Amino acid sequence: MQIFISATTLLVLATNYDYIIVGGGTGGLAVAHRLAEDGRNSVAVIEAGGFYQESGNFSVIPAYGEAAFTSISPDAINESPERDLTWPFVTVPQASAGGAQFRYARGKTLGGTSALNSQNYQRPPVGYHKVWAEQVGDPSYEWSNMFRYYQKSTNLTQLTHLRAKNASFPPNNLAGETSGPLQISYGTWATPIASWIQRAFRELGVADAPSQINGAILGAQYNPVTQNYDTQTRESSQTSYLDASFKHGRTNLKVYKHSLAQKVIFNSKKEAVGVAVQGLESGHPFVLSADKEVIVSAGAFQSPQLLMVSGVGPKATLQKHNIPVVADRPGVGRNLQDHTIFNVAQEVNVQTYTGLAGDHFLAWENLPAKYRTAFTAQTKADLAQYPADWPEVEYIVASAPFGAAEFSTPKDPKNIFYFTPCLNRPQSRGNIAISSSNMRDQPLINPNLLSTKTDEQVLVATFRRTRDFFNAKSFKPVLIGEELLPGKENVPLDATDEEILTYLKASNSGWSWHASCTCKMGRRDDPMAVVDSEARVYGVSRLRVVDASSFAVLSPGHPQSVVYALAEKISEDILKGR
């Protein structure tokens, strides 16, 4: 059986398939597995990368691959151990950071960014799906209807032993979540600092959360991770969905690895009928024909890029690059959303650095009243648009060595506690543009974070809240010395809001690597919507987008669970002829 194909073998293989999927990442491989599972369909996946195992154990060992996201310096592209597994993306100059440019890592491998992320598996609250359903005019996106797709994708192993009492958690009522391809579990280890910060959370009013995967996330708790409990190795869409197809011997699924989709091909009826591809190793161009549909799952940057170079996007942009206009869709590449983060760090007297560094203790809250006194009427109105169960802030409890660029053992490591707040109701919007008509040329990536007064005010309030956690009486026994990051010399205790904001924007803010919504889902009468509620691209036919770019709105927390659930839903829609 031949499931993986290189461009040099194309002359002896059929190049017509029922479905062609562009991108073998988180969503793409899930869709490929479900369409091939049906048995009646032939499916091809086009992926620019290969197996991440070809580059060693970087994405196999839990949390090792997370080093891909420890630096936003452009220099990290060539210095980091995962450079062969990521796209070398760099942003355009960012106004909020004085014109600086930054690296933005994205997976270039089978499994996509699921092969490199923090592995946190958390589901959004009920209110998130209510907003999604309202924005797209489709009740099938309500939590009560989407929950089964979350369940369908996963296989949860409950942890019943090995964890100390102060590092345990209530069991989840997840009967039936044992048949999905994606293994999720709770780690058999817990960073010691988590039980200490949990005390600080409780002291300052952040209660324990019963679960973070059953539709409510406010509070603090250990959360599941995409990890195989038996082997203690990372789970990705490759090790789950793709491997499941491989184990079942599905010869109707073919994967074209190390191949770059160059353009979606349309006929005179504006139907997607194929994809022009280039072999990255051979240099050979070739065409794959789609008898039914083309499904784009190339991620939040390259899905809109591929649409635009194929003639679907803002008319002015297409004409600028001499691209024939197939469909004038002004929303393609717009509406980029991400979560702003920053870090506070201090030395502690418990071990924080291990070979399995990670951040699997999380908390969410809406900021208490004392931190909201400086909010303007506009900020209050912006935040009031969200359901009460949609948190304003996430707190990530991290464990890594201070000053280490990689997950390798420094000579004299200090035990440093990294506390990473994350804004979960972002108002700022960025965009993706194209630099040419060629997919080999990097898209123009503009996250545009902290471009609204609301985001700035929430950032400052969250910083003040964070320092209060460090000053909690119950947390004091574990602290050593003074704050290391940002340090009182950079941000004095009596700093004004403006001084705090200036420092954070210049030196200590970034993103959560959760880029989304650049081919956003919406109603037909929304001029900025790119796809409908069944992920079909407006203005053309036989073309869908299924990945984080087609979210209606970015979820609070970590979006990989939403990508898997969306892929399950749209796969079902396709198989049912919708």
Same structural domain, 454 and 480: yes
Which helix (H) or strand (E) segment is 182 a member of? Answer: strand 182-185
Residues 6+ apart with CB under 8 A from 576: none
pLDDT of residue 405: 41
Residue 159 lies in a domain: no
Looking at the structure of the chain, the number of domains it has is: 2
Tokens 């900025």 sit on residue: 528
Distance CA 493, CA 295 (A): 52
Contact in structure between 571 and 34 (CB atoms under 8 Å): yes
Shared domain for 411 and 546, answered yes or no, is no
Of 511, 542, 560, the one marking the end of a domain is 511
Query: How far is 115 from 95, CA to CA, in rounded Å?
Result: 31
Residues whose CB is less than 8 angstroms from the CB of residue 132 and which lie 6 or more positions away in sequence, other chains included: 141, 521, 551, 552, 553
* 412 and 292 together in one domain: no
Same domain, 412 and 498: yes
- Tell me, what's the pLDDT at 169? 63
- What are the phi and psi torsion angles at 498 (to 5°)? -65, -40
146 lies in a domain? no
Average pLDDT of the chain? 88
* Structural domain ending residue among the three candidates 491, 511, 531: 511
Does 353 share its domain with 452? yes
Q: Which CATH number is 479's domain given? A: 3.30.560.10
Residue 148 has pLDDT above 60, yes or no: yes
> Residues 202-212: pLDDT tens digits?
999 999 998 88
The model's pTM is 0.93
Tokens coding 281 = 């190793």
Question: Are 218 and 73 in a shared domain?
Answer: yes
The confidence score (pLDDT) of residue 227 equals 84
In this predicted structure, the answer to whether residue 356 has a pLDDT above a threshold of 80 is no
Burial 411-442, CB ≥16 within 10 A → b, else e:
eeebbbbbbbbbbbbbbbbbbbbbeebebeeb
443-467 per-residue burial string, b: 16 or more CB within 10 A, e: under 16: bebbbbbbbbebbbbbbbbbbebbb
Among 505, 506, 486, 494, which Cα is nearest to 428's? Answer: 505
Whether residue 123 lies inside any domain: the answer is: no
Cβ–Cβ < 8 Å for 391, 469 = no
Residue 110 lies inside a defined structural domain of this protein: no
Whether 183 has a binding-site annotation, put simply, is: no
Q: Which residues are catalytic?
A: 514, 558
Strands 327-328 and 312-313: parallel
Query: Same domain for 82 and 206?
Result: yes
Decide if pLDDT at 360 tops 60: yes
Q: Is 493 among the domain residues?
A: yes
Of the residues 496, 511, 526, which one is the last residue of a structural domain?
A: 511
pLDDT at 8: 45
DSSP letters of 270-322? SBEEEEEEEETTT--EEEEEEEEEEEE--HHHHHHHHHHHTTEE-HHHHHHTT
Q: Are residues 502 and 445 in the same domain?
A: yes
Give the burial class of 183: count Cβ atoms within 10 A of its Cβ; 0-12 exposed, 13-18 middle, 19 or more buried. buried
Does 94 count as an annotated binding residue?
Answer: no
132 is a domain residue: no
Tell me the CA end-to-end span of the chain in Å, nearest whole number: 32
- CA–CA gap between residue 474 and residue 197 (Å, rounded): 8
Residues 366 and 228 grouped into a single domain:
yes
Show the 3-state SS of 187-215. Answer: CCCCCCHHHHHHHHHHHCCCCECCCCCCC
- Segments forming the whole domain that contains residue 245: 4-53+236-336+518-575
Could you read off the pLDDT of 169-186 as tens digits, one per residue? 666 555 447 789 999 988
- Per-residue model confidence (pLDDT) at position 218: 98
CA pair distance 375, 274, nearest whole angstrom = 51
Structure tokens at 347: 């030395």
Who wins on pLDDT, 192 or 171? 192
Same domain, 258 and 400: no
Distance CA 370, CA 51 (A): 50
Q: Is 514 annotated as a binding residue?
A: yes
Q: How confident is the model at residue 508 (pLDDT cuts 50, 70, 90)?
A: confident
Q: What is the mean pLDDT of residues 84-94?
A: 89
525 and 551, same structural domain?
A: yes
User: If we measure between CA atoms, which residue out of 248, 216, 354 comes closest to residue 33?
Assistant: 248
With respect to residue 332, please indicate whether it lies within any of the assigned structural domains: yes
Can you tell me whether residue 545 is helix, strand or coil? Answer: strand
- At residue 536, the 3 state secondary structure works out as strand
Q: Model confidence over 520-541: pLDDT tens digits?
A: 999 999 999 999 999 999 999 9
Q: Write the CA distances from 93 to 177, 427, 432, 445, integer angstroms.
A: 45, 20, 13, 9
CA torsion, points 377, 382, 388, 392, in degrees to nearest 10? -100
For the stretch 98-123, pLDDT in tens is 888 988 988 889 988 888 888 899 99
- At position 346, the amino acid (one-letter code) is Q
Q: Please report which confidence band the pLDDT of residue 228 belongs to, taking 50, 70 and 90 as the band edges.
A: confident
Cβ proximity of 51 and 58 under 8 Å: no
Does the pLDDT at position 519 exceed 60? yes
Please give the pLDDT value at position 57.
52
Answer yes or no: do 505 and 529 share one domain.
no
138 located within any domain: no
Kind and range of the H or E run holding 469:
helix 453-470
Cα 270 to Cα 213: distance, rounded to the nearest angstrom = 41
Residue 553 belongs to a domain with what CATH number? Answer: 3.50.50.60
For residues 276 and 285, the answer to whether their CB atoms sit within 8 Å is: yes
DSSP state of 39: S
Query: What contacts 208, CB < 8 A, 6 or more positions away?
Result: 198, 202, 219, 220, 221
In the structure, what pLDDT confidence band is assigned to residue 578 with cuts at 50, 70 and 90? confident
pLDDT at 59 over 50: no
For residue 492 the two structure tokens come to 């004095």
Number of alpha helices (DSSP H) and beta strands (DSSP E) in the chain: 12, 24
pLDDT band per the 50, 70, 90 thresholds, residue 398: confident
- Mean pLDDT throughout 300-307? 99
